[in-house]
Each structure stands twice: as structure tokens, then as C-alpha cells.
Amino acid sequence: MDFDYKKAEEVIERAKALFSPSKEEREELLSMFESFRVELSPYFKDIRLLGSVAKGTFLKGSKELDVFVFFDKDVSKEEMGEKIFQVLRKLNINFEIRYAEHPYAKVFYKGFEIDLVPCYKIKQEERIRSAVDRSPFHYEFVSKNLKEHQKADVRVLKKLLKNFGLYGAEVGVRGFSGYLCELLIIYYGSLLELMKSSLKWKRPKLSLNKETTLDLFDEPFVFIDPTDEYRNVASSLSLENLSKFILLSSSFLRSPSLEFFEFSSLDLSFSKLKEVLGEAVVVKLKSPDVVRETKMGQLKRIERYLKSFLIKNGFLISSSFVEDREFSYIFISSLFSPPNFIIKEGPFVWMNKNAENFMEKNKAVLLGDRLFTIKEYKFKRLKEAVEKALVSYDFPSHYKGSLVDVISLNPSEIDKLSLKNRIFVEVRRNEFLFRRKV
């Protein structure tokens, strides 16, 4: 099927209308910031609204604000966070302590969520002391270079990425940050041009600067920060998520639909799950009482171990994700079960030492000038393989002794799980990414 650029442009325009906020929404968000700023102003001199609301790239329905408190350089990172927490406690404002490079507060204020972030007041030419110190420079660059009509392109790009689990640079996602989305639209001019260009990507290296430091970086995707030539804005983007975006662009351009931005229905059957994802299991763990960032990092480590073990044992992983609710969960599915055995290539006979080692370790046969053997697979069922993988696994510190169960999904089990809708979101994502329509 050929790409349908005309229809793609029409769908993107409809998405812009659907997901762009109203003037009233923006005014409400700005009013909420001002109310919050006034409460904090007796204690802090420099309080600024930054992030997507300040830049005008936030999505319709957003109730989130990014507020920064600027400190002089003689205050330590620990002191900055503690000063903010003390003031919030004094004002009796509900918040949670979160951690990035240093502590910040997730504030719950009059129905809104506010990331209250301490940072240093520095000039652009000065050396930063924490990653968030760049935030005002990011705001200034985007405000100057992102055209008004392009803000809608940023919004629908964010909406698309969120729908497919590719939005966010945090360790639990390793996707596209909001700032990277803005830079991509500045670079390519529009979402349609970005998607068309992505089909030619192969570990892309991009820069908006004339003189670049591209060769200093070796990540799957490089986009030089225009405010700091020694920083790669896309450093946290995983190779798998970059690849998913390329597949997503291809699928959308071939068959454009608003469902790419928001799935119309999650009322799916278990047979649909089996058809799209194959056999599936859920690892259920006790959720430790630690900050979310630490928890998600350790869950992802367990997930990576399980995927590696399963792939080595012949399973074709179709999907996996981690969730933390009342329990922690790791979902893994395999589209096909392993065969009983595969033919495994060995070394050529003239590779003397390697050939000797291969024959010592395997029952070998000679075909032409090369040795071959049979590799047998131990497991036929996904649940059995996962259980075996976890028996001898050295769990990360906060998940030691936390295993509750390994659940093989069937119609009755899936109805009991609190993450049923999350699983069916994964079904829809795979349908659209891999065109597994059933």
C-alpha cells in the first residue's frame, strides 16, 4: 500500500482541532500559576512558570504545571529541596517528594498537579550545576524559534506518542521528551514532514546549530541541544522506542486515522489478545514503599532480564511493560512458542581452535566446510519459562522476596486484574504498529 500524504495531512488537521486547548483553558492554567506563585512569594524571590504551559505546547485537558524556584549558587542542592518542602508544609499544601538529579516536589493544588522544581540562577555561558538549570534557556529558545502555527503540531505529536507509550524521558519510558518534540517540529517544520523524514532514519544525528558536536555522541538518536552543544537531548530515547516511532510513522502514513491519536475502544475480547499478542503472563510482585523513580527503575531491570532469558530460550517477545499500582506488575507476551529445536551454525573447519571447542561442546555434523549442531529448547510454555527464570534470579534490592505469583492469562484471570485496560491498550498499540488487524 502506498503512502497517503493528502489524507494524513487532513487527519493531522482534525487532530489539531480536537486536542488543542481553548483560550479559557490556558487562562485557567495561568490563573492557577499566579495563585500558587502568590502563596509562595513571601518565601521565594524568583518563581517562574516554564514547561509546556509557558511555551503554549500543552495538550487539551492538561492540569499540570511546571514551576521553577531559582536559588543563588551558594545554596546546596539538598538545601534547595528542603527549603521548598519546608514552605509547602508551612502552607499546608499537599505534596510528594520526587527525585530527578536532586529532590523536587509533586504538588497537588486545587485540582492541579504542579512540579515544583528548585534550580540555580545562572547565565547561559556559565557551567550548569544541575540538569534543570537549562530549563529557562530551553524556554527562551523554543519561544523564539517555534512558530505559532507549529505549536499545534507539537501538541498532536505529543498526543500520538502518549497514545503509543513513547512520550517521556523518564527511566520507566525512555521515550521522547517534550523538549525533543518541540525541537523536532522546529527542525522539520511540521508533524507530517517529521513522519515522512523518519522513514529514512538510521540512527539519526540532528542539529539546529551550524557548527555541531554530533561526532561526540553515539546514542541511537542524537539531537544536539541548541542551548548546550555538549548535550544530546535524545540521550534517554531507547533504540526500541525510536524504532517504534519509525514503524508508527509508516503505519500512519499508509492508513491515516484519528485512532492513532486516541483509540476509540478498549472493549476487546481475550481471543483478540491471543491473536495479536500470543501467550501472555503477568508477574505479580509486592510494591515496595520507595519513591516511584527507584521502583520503576528496578522493575524495568527485572523486565529486561526476563526478556533476555526468554529470547535465549526461543520465545518471540511481542510485548512487555511494567506497571505499579496496589502491586507491581510485569506483563510479557510471546507471539510464538519455541520449536523443539533449531539447526545452529558452527565455525568453519579451517577455524581450527573454534572448531575444536565447538565439537567438544556439541554433537556436530559437517555440511560442506562448516560444522552444525542442533539446539534444543527446554520450554514450550511461557509461564514455565518465566517461573524458571525467576527461581535463581537475584532481584534488585527493593524487590527481594517480593514475588507473589506468575499468572498465565486466560479469560477468567484477565477479568480479575486491575490492569486489564492497560493490557488491551497494548493490544491496540500492536495492532496499529504491526498492522495485525483481526
Q: How confident is the model over 345-378, as pLDDT tens digits?
A: 999 999 989 999 999 999 999 999 999 998 888 8
pLDDT at 101 over 90: no
Looking at residue 277, its pLDDT comes to 85
* Average pLDDT estimate for 21-28: 95
Query: 116-125, 145-154, 340-349, 428-437 — which one is most confidently predicted on average?
Result: 145-154
| Cα–Cα separations (whole angstroms), residue 141 to 155, 182, 208 | 18, 10, 11
Q: How confident is the model at residue 191 (pLDDT cuts 50, 70, 90)?
A: very high
Please tell me the predicted confidence (pLDDT) of residue 149: 95
Q: Among 116-120, 395-399, 404-408, 409-413, whose mean pLDDT is lowest?
A: 409-413
Burial class from Cβ neighbours inside 10 Å (0-12, 13-18, 19+) for residue 125 reads exposed
- Please say whether the beta carbons of 119 and 130 come within 8 A: yes
Mean predicted confidence (pLDDT) in 133-159: 95
Predicted confidence band of residue 342 (pLDDT cuts 50, 70, 90)? confident
Judged against a pLDDT cut of 60, whether residue 438 lies above it is answered with no
- Measuring CA to CA, which residue among 412, 415, 406, 417 is closest to residue 383? 406
Q: Taking 90 as the threshold, does the pLDDT of residue 421 lie above it?
A: no
Give residue-wise pLDDT tens across range 205-247.
999 988 778 889 999 999 999 998 889 999 999 999 999 999 9
Q: Helix, strand, or coil here: 85?
A: helix
Contact 195/9 with Cβ under 8 angstroms? Answer: no
Predicted pLDDT of residue 147 = 97
Provide the pLDDT for residue 276.
84
Residue 100 has pLDDT above 80, yes or no: no
The rounded percent of the chain whose pLDDT value lies above 90 is: 71
Q: What confidence tier does 171 reach under pLDDT thresholds 50, 70, 90?
A: confident
* Mean pLDDT for the stretch of residues 387-409: 94
Work out the mean pLDDT of the chain and round it to a whole number: 91
Q: In the structure, what pLDDT confidence band is assigned to residue 330 with cuts at 50, 70 and 90?
A: very high
**In this structure, are residues 271 and 217 in contact, taking their beta carbons and an 8 Å threshold?**
no
**Mean pLDDT of the region 37-59:** 95
- Identify the band that residue 174 occupies on the pLDDT scale cut at 50, 70 and 90: very high
Q: Is the pLDDT of residue 302 over 70?
A: yes
Question: Read out DSSP for 392-411?
Answer: S----GGGTT-EEEEEE--H
- Structural domains of the chain, with CATH: 21-144 (3.30.460.10), 146-259 (1.10.1410.30), 270-338+378-434 (3.30.70.590), 341-376 (no CATH)
Cα-based angle 91, 95, 97 (whole degrees, multiple of 5): 120
Q: How confident is the model at residue 437 (pLDDT cuts 50, 70, 90)?
A: low
Nearest Cα residue to 323 out of 290, 291, 284 = 284
The more confident residue out of 71 and 124 is 71
pLDDT reported for residue 436: 66
**pLDDT higher than threshold 80 for residue 319:** yes
For the cut 80, the answer to whether the pLDDT of residue 289 exceeds it is: yes
